[in-house]
Structure 1
Amino acid sequence: MKQRVIKILSFAVLLGSNLNAQTYNNLFRTKDRMDNLEDFDLKKFSYGFFLAANNFDYKMNLSPVFGMDGSKSLVESKATYSFGAGLIGKMRLNEFMDLRLEPGLHFVQRDLTFNTFDHVNQYAGGTNYNLPFTPITEPGDEMINKIVKSTYIDIPLLLEVHGDRWYNSRPYAAAGINYLVNLQSNQTSMDDNQQNTFRTTTHNFGWSAEIGIQLYFSRFKLTPAIRGTFFTNNELVSDKETTPPYWTPAISTMQTRAFMLVLKFE
């Protein structure tokens, strides 16, 4: 009986040791583990698409005459959330660098508030900065709050620098230049803010910076990333000289800045 108990205990110890070794190998052994899509990044060209959640806002420098009341800003910009989508084209340059072209379409809305009326009315008689005008003492909501809708065709050219692949992931950083066309700019419209039409430039330029991590699955590569895009040109199209200086004369420069959460599929 005693010998039988000893045999059973010995068998249990051996079985437990074997199970522990197998569990350790399955969870932590990496030497012989196969990587997903091992040859994917060796291709000269590859393609994909992306989806983006966006936050677009305006960075504004206000006129000290019409846009500021002492240290108080009279024009405010409210960022809104939007979405975008686009295509990916990648060219492999070497082991650590890729060139990416990622044209996309972004649907954007921003809300501008002009609290300029009481302040600007003191210049109704005309100054070196404006012609005489009839003051508006009771502005309507459409005069104070301007909804600026934009549809951007964004064409960024990015240089990507990535580190070594760590099994099924690889970190990277990218930067580059953008050409952006605003399909809803109203730049050529004959109306301006007096007719409730806010005008911006159609053709724009900017730069982008991005960081992310590439995750390799059995059938595709998923890349979550954060991107910032910053316009370099002044997007503001001035109102007519005969329009009271409640709106665009209150703004010296206006440039888009955008932050995006991007999901790429390749």
Structure 2
Amino acid sequence: MSAQLFSKEKVQNLQNFDKPRFSYGYILGFNSYDFNFDYSADASDTDIIHDASLGFNVGLLGNLRINDYLDLRLEPLVIFNTRNLKFSNPEFESDFESSREVPSTYVHIPLLLKISTKRINNIKPFIIGGVSTSINLSSNEDNPDDNSVGQFRMKTNTNYYEIGFGIDLYLYYFKFTPSIRGVFAMSDELVKDNDPDSPYTATIDKMSTRGIFINFTFQ
């Protein structure tokens, strides 16, 4: 009795939870998106202020167990976020001219490799990484109007690489997994204005998304 009382070993919850080859769950979380801008070499004014705001994610998880330490995961998400851009140009005389709100609704589909440590009692830390693609339902890519009438346009399809870490917590009835992940676009997402000398897009060589996901997975 005394040995059991002071033992560091705890009763393991859900001891056989990770044994099935396939498992499923759902995901709730938050995101913070902003843009990374690369400017053309002859750009004289490169001050675009972008304010990141908090959005939210909801999705599903499909997990393929490879072995005790490796899992392949598919995590389709619907992501909602709004970014605000402020263009500093002496020609702009109003907020309508200098500010653009960029609302985004993404269908985001990552394929990820999860690398876990050995389970310690009821916790199992891991790192995770992979590639993803998304469809931006609010991109305005095919809209003939541009920033001259207040329409900021982005490309609909984007590919990313992702890397992060988290921890599996084996609770009494289910497995709960908080994680944090960085998301980085691999291509230019900007649709330039119709005017090649546009004060909004002429100086931008490349615009790509950067984001942070904080997700909570329930299995």
The answer to whether the superposition gives a TM-score over 0.5 is yes
Report matched runs for 1:31-110 at 5 Å.
31=9, 33-66=10-43, 68-69=44-45, 73-110=46-83
Tell me which amino acid in the other structure corresponds to 2:26.
F
From 168, 173, 176, the counterpart of 2:122: 168
Q: Deviations over 1:108-156 (max 9, x none)?
A: 111111112x2xxxxxxxxxxxxxxxxxx45321110100111011100
Report matched runs for 1:157-196 at 5 Å.
157-196=111-150
How far is the alpha carbon of 1:30 from its aligned partner? 4.1
In 1, Cα distance between equivalents of 2:60 and 2:23: 11
Asked whether the equivalents of residues 92 and 98 of structure 2 are also in contact (C-alpha less than 8 Å), the reply is: no
How far is the alpha carbon of 1:65 from its aligned partner? 3.4
Task: Give unmatched runs, 5+ long, in structure 1.
Answer: 1-20, 119-136
Report matched runs for 1:1-266 at 5 Å.
22=2, 25-26=4-5, 28-31=6-9, 33-66=10-43, 68-69=44-45, 73-116=46-89, 118=90, 137=91, 139-241=93-195, 244-266=197-219
The alignment-based identity, stated in percent, is: 35
- Larger Cα Rg: Structure 1 or Structure 2? 1
Asked whether the equivalents of residues 180 and 203 of structure 1 are also in contact (C-alpha less than 8 Å), the reply is: yes
In 1, Cα distance between equivalents of 2:40 and 2:214: 33
- SS at structure 2 position matched to 1:194: helix
Task: Give unmatched runs, 5+ long, in structure 2.
Answer: none
In 2, Cα distance between equivalents of 1:207 and 1:191: 31
Q: Deviations over 1:153-203 (max 9, x none)?
A: 110000111011001000111111001100000000010000100000001
TM-score norm. by structure 2 comes to: 0.95
Q: 1:34 to 1:86 in 2, by over 3 A?
A: same
In 2, Cα distance between equivalents of 1:241 and 1:144: 17
Asked whether the equivalents of residues 50 and 262 of structure 1 are also in contact (C-alpha less than 8 Å), the reply is: yes
In 2, Cα distance between equivalents of 1:181 and 1:90: 22
Structure with the higher helix share, 1 or 2: 1
- SS at structure 2 position matched to 1:249: coil
